[in-house]
A and B are shown apart, each in its own frame.
Chain A
Amino acid sequence: MDRVLCPGEHGEENGSVMEHKTIPWHIFPVLSDQQSQGVELVLAYAVPILDKKKTSRLVKEISAVYPLEGQQHLKRVRACTDKASPHPLEMLICLAKPGKEKAEGLHTLSELLPDKQVDCCGLGEPFLVRVPAHPPLTRMQFEEAKFHWPTAFHEDKYVTSALTGHLFSKEEKVKMQTYMKQAIWAAQQGAAKGLKAIGAVVVDPATETVLAVGHDCRRASNPLLHATMVCIDLVAQGQGRGTYNFKSYPACTALPLGNRDPSASKAIRAGTVRKFESRDDGLPYICTGYELYITSEPCVMCAMALVHSRIQRVFYGTASPDGALGTKYKIHTRQDLNHRFEVFRGILEDQCCSLTEDS
């Protein structure tokens, strides 16, 4: 079942001979801190409901006093977790101030609920519980949160399928592998010239076209030509502009505009795949809608360059020590920047990892 076709690598093509290989890597979404962290808990007061019939009246009255506005994700009533308990239900009253763990600091029912507003008949004495401070964003967080207190969960199916590894079909993974192999090939070409073994490929997913292939070109004469920066400039060169001259690096190539499949570009205009704004010349803004495949995680400079270039997705093989798309920062998830994008780690991780180890 796991056997898939693996198209020949760029540079060592031998036509009809196709290798049969399994996909020996896993793809991991690099989520925001809010999505990937554990569930934060806060202390709250709950009370046993001794008389089940009074539940709806009590919920109404107590909600009027303590609307729990910041905690809309918490359900007000839960079935008692202890089966042997004499009371069937428990109700949340309000959040407790921190430092209330000691028994002598506990509020009594009459302190929490002033007589006039709530008829406390049918309630037991309050006790402290830990409840989730924020709404769960992922299924894993939901599973953890509801263990402490029942919560509402508006599942984002897209994130769930990303986390469970079901976001991409086998066919898509084969394509990813092909693109990453091209990036690895570029890295090897760079390494053969004494450069850092990092390679990258820019793909237009709408047309499945490789727009640029590049490798790290940093030397003393230009220390900032990281593979990402090279690829961003190569995309610009494909549009007839750009800044640098990569003539001495034949592995760094851009697909010129004229060489693009015209039927593919027609498909873009007819379809609904591209909702983003095209420029007057019909081209998207810089790298809008494009994907970057890179053998190792981009640094801060490159990650922010990708924000400025409006990349849509980044796939990298292996993490970097100062990486900015997961390791040290998650620049792609920041709400305070004007563009966010998706990042996935792990494509051909072993091969990508051995590239950096060799150099």
Chain B
Amino acid sequence: GRRPDRRRRCGCFGAGKQRPSRIQSPVHPPSGCSPGNSSRRPPTFRRQLSSDRLSASLSLSSPSVSWASGCQRGMEETPAAALTARGVSVSSEEREAWMERAMHMAKEALENGEVPVGCLMVYNNEVLAKGRNEVNQTKNATRHAEMVAIDQVLEWCHRYGKSPTEVFEHTVLYVTVEPCIMCAAALRLMKIPLVVYGCQNERFGGCGSVLDISSADLPNTGTPFKCIPGYQAEEAVEMLKTFYKQENPNAPKSKVRKKESHKC
């Protein structure tokens, strides 16, 4: 009858709804890495809008939203300044300065009607890549800001005759939103040691929000990386909320919205 057909269309063998499979990890801001903000829980951006609409637009866009949990595991919590992760060492001042720039990029994107996610790849104090979401323009849903930035770094390596392995192993990613599962896996494959980000990505996050790819035991998928979440998280969330109040015209329409429009 009807049920199998419907399932076929929405895929997935109608997985049981009665046992949620969600991984829930406690949210603890790492001490000392979120100056001026450490007592507050950085905000999450999720389902303030119709969930379908939000998710459709978010995946069309870039990584997305919120604030971390599992990924701080294994991070040395040096209260003072420098944080060392496999081959890179960044002081909290540096981190703040780069995140400030990433936030500025996100703001610019918002002002130009783009998904407000900014990301920078920094190597030896030099910005090798400034990623921006290119999903709509390429019709390729994998062109998230991080993926675009990785390609820019590869191009830089090619231009200056550097070994990508050597460069990526000493590169820090600064991004306003927690990387999604896909990007987190890509960052592992590139062997990036450290990711500093703003708010948590409750819908697609790959650094603890949905799955913790950053620290998972995946011996054939690059190396794990460290995360420092919570930088100006509230501002990052606010920008995304502002963006998604308008509709993303490129995202597929959700069923909920279609029904609503029929009623009118």
Contacts and interface: CB of A to CB of B under 8 A. Distances in A.
Interface in A229-269: 229, 232-233, 236, 239-243
Nearest to A70: B18
A305 B204 CA distance: 11
Contact of B182 (A305, A339, A342): A305
A300 interface: yes
B134 interface: yes
B140 A338 contact: no
B189 A340 contact: no
A286 B141 contact: yes
Interface in A261-301: 275-277, 279, 285-288, 299-301
Contacts of B15: 31-32, 34-35, 333, 335, 340
Interface residues of A, number: 65
Nearest to A157: B4
Nearest to A321: B220
A35 B19 contact: no
B233 interface: no
Instruction: Name A's interface SS.
Output: loop
Contacts of B12: 32, 332-333, 340-342
B129 to A, nearest CB: 14
Interface residues of B, number: 65
Contacts, number: 190
A242 B206 contact: no
Contact of B189 (A159, A223, A312, A332): A223
Interface in A329-356: 329, 331-342
A313 interface: yes
B189 A224 contact: yes
Contacts of B35: none
B257 to A, nearest CB: 10
A337 B251 contact: no
B180 interface: yes
B67 to A, nearest CB: 16
Contact of B3 (A137, A156, A222, A328): A156
A33 interface: yes
B139 interface: yes
A336 B22 contact: yes
B11 A322 contact: no
Interface of A: 29, 31-35, 134-135, 137, 156-159, 162, 220-224, 229, 232-233, 236, 239-243, 275-277, 279, 285-288, 299-301, 304-305, 307-310, 312-313, 320-322, 324, 328-329, 331-342
